[in-house]
């Protein structure tokens, strides 16, 4: 019985025998899709006129939506097209696809590469083959414990002379005799690349993407692109790429270090921030913190101005609205919209926000102020926080509750009071706990 091979039909006949037998195969190519017929225990491919294209086939299969037929004959594998054209000779112990048109073939534990379009790319003589796209499309080969690289046309581009070749960040890293070189833009370079510092910048289209690398030379750092062009000579002690604004085309700013001082430049070495600061910390798309004379200042990228109205020693992004800044043993908050105005002078030991009110600490005592620094609750309590729109505080080691108008609504007689979002638990003098709602009505253990 004859069956048409098509992309909608998969035929799978796999024999477990893998004996290695060399054979010469006489084939003709059909002008139409070949047919399969079974003859005894074997199969054959014939054209539409019944002329045999391949005979004595042990097993064969075709994957769905594929124009290729995998054939095993006398224990060896090969690949033919739907029209009977030999794409990979039926002469290998194993065939496996590497990438697109490229297939690895194995015989007697040696490997080679075939292209469905071009035929043999690499002869079957290598111990291992690894596909790479670090440069273009290439093959990292291993032979006699040494490695080299061939391009997709089978031309040697790196001699088989290296102890190790690895792919990293779009570059081939070459190691030999404890020395490292790099293959970049079809050239082997000896300058050290800091591959973990590589970065990409996009143009109007994804295809416009360019990769840049930090490189070392004479203990200094510079910048080269993926085409091995030196954009910035190796003259800085350190270079770090930083993203500043949302438009990727403009994200080409570099923090550079000379000696112990930092500045900022772009890829054309245009100065953004002079190299005179002890540290540069990017905090938002528009602002940085610069350190000079051991004190920190906010810097505005939009206005290109340093705020010298105040300075500080430490900071943390406290919330979406405020940043906490500290100087000595005092701290305050600054609004995150422009980092230009202090909420309060540097007068409190601690400041924490609760909606539009602020719990402050002064001389180890706590109180409550508003955004204008007007005192709402006097600064005289050992502990204080807001819960259920009430102020829970500790005075003389006893807890009580105040209203936001500074009225005592529960006397300072209790060993402990714990507030939650919808209830308050009050430890009684007998150490039993009563639970109140936010209106201070008892709801549990009321007797």
Rg (CA), the chain: 38
Which residue's entry shows tokens 């109007």? 204
Q: Rounded to the nearest 5 degrees, what angle is found at the Cα of 27, between the Cα atoms of 25 and 28?
A: 175
Contact predicate 429/437, CB 8 Å: no
Taking residue 344's Cβ as centre, other Cβ atoms within 10 Å add up to 18
pLDDT for 169: 86
DSSP state, 190?
A: -
pLDDT for 427: 96
CB proximity list for 439: less than 8 A, separation 6 or greater: none
> What is the rounded average pLDDT for all residues in the chain?
88
Max Cα distance, the chain (Å) = 108
pLDDT tens across 375-430, in order? 999 999 999 999 999 999 999 999 999 999 999 999 999 999 999 999 999 999 99
Low-confidence ranges of the chain (pLDDT < 70): 1-32, 206, 244-251
Which residue's entry shows tokens 């690949």? 79
pLDDT for 244: 66
3-state secondary structure 160-182: EEECEEEEECCEEEEEECCEEEE
pLDDT for 248: 46
Nearest to 339 by CA among 252, 281, 415: 281
Contact predicate 119/137, CB 8 Å: no
pLDDT for 18: 30
Secondary structure of residue 75 in the 3-state scheme: coil
Contact predicate 23/74, CB 8 Å: yes
Alpha-carbon distances, residue 83 vs 5, 27, 69, 73, 101 (angstroms)? 10, 11, 10, 18, 18
């Amino acid at each position: 019985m004859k069956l048409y091979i098509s992309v909608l039909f998969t035929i799978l006949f796999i024999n477990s025998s893998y004996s290695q037998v060399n054979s010469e195969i006489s084939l003709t190519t059909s002008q139409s899709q070949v047919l399969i017929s079974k003859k005894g225990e074997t199969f054959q491919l014939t054209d539409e006129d019944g002329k045999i294209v391949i005979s004595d086939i042990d097993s064969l299969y075709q994957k769905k939506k594929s124009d290729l037929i995998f054939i095993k004959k006398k224990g060896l594998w090969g690949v033919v097209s739907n029209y009977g054209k030999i794409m990979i000779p039926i002469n290998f112990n194993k065939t496996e696809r590497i990438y697109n048109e490229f297939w690895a073939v194995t015989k007697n534990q040696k490997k080679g590469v075939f292209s469905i379009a071009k035929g043999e790319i690499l002869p079957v003589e290598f111990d291992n083959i690894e596909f790479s796209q670090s440069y273009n499309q290439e093959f990292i080969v291993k032979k006699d414990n040494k490695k080299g690289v061939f391009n997709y046309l089978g031309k040697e581009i790196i001699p088989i002379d290296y102890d190790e070749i690895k792919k990293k960040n779009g570059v081939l890293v070459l190691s030999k005799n404890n020395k490292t070189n790099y293959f970049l833009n079809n050239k082997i370079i000896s300058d050290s690349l800091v591959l973990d510092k590589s970065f990409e910048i996009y143009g109007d289209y994804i295809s416009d993407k360019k990769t840049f690398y930090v490189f070392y030379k004479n203990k200094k750092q510079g910048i080269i692109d993926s085409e091995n062009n030196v954009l910035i000579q190796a003259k800085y002690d350190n270079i770090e790429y930083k993203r500043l604004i949302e438009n990727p085309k403009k994200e080409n700013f570099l923090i550079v270090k000379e000696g112990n001082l930092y500045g900022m430049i772009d890829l054309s070495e245009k100065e953004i921030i002079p190299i005179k600061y002890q540290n540069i910390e990017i905090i938002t798309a528009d602002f940085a913190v610069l350190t000079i004379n051991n004190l920190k200042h906010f810097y505005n990228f939009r206005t290109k101005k340093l705020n010298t109205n105040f300075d500080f020693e430490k900071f943390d992004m406290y919330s979406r609205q405020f940043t906490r800044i500290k100087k000595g043993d005092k701290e305050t908050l600054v609004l995150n919209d422009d980092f230009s105005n202090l909420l309060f002078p540097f007068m409190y030991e601690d400041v924490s926000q609760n909606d539009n009110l602020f719990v402050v600490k002064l001389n180890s005592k706590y109180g409550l102020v508003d955004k204008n620094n007007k005192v709402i609750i006097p600064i005289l309590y050992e502990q204080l926080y807001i819960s259920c729109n009430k102020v829970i505080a500790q005075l003389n080691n006893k807890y009580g509750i105040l209203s936001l108008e500074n009225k005592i609504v529960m006397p300072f007689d209790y060993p402990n009071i714990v507030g939650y979002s919808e209830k308050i638990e009050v430890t009684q003098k007998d150490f039993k706990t009563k639970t109140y709602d936010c209106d201070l009505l008892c709801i549990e253990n009321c007797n």
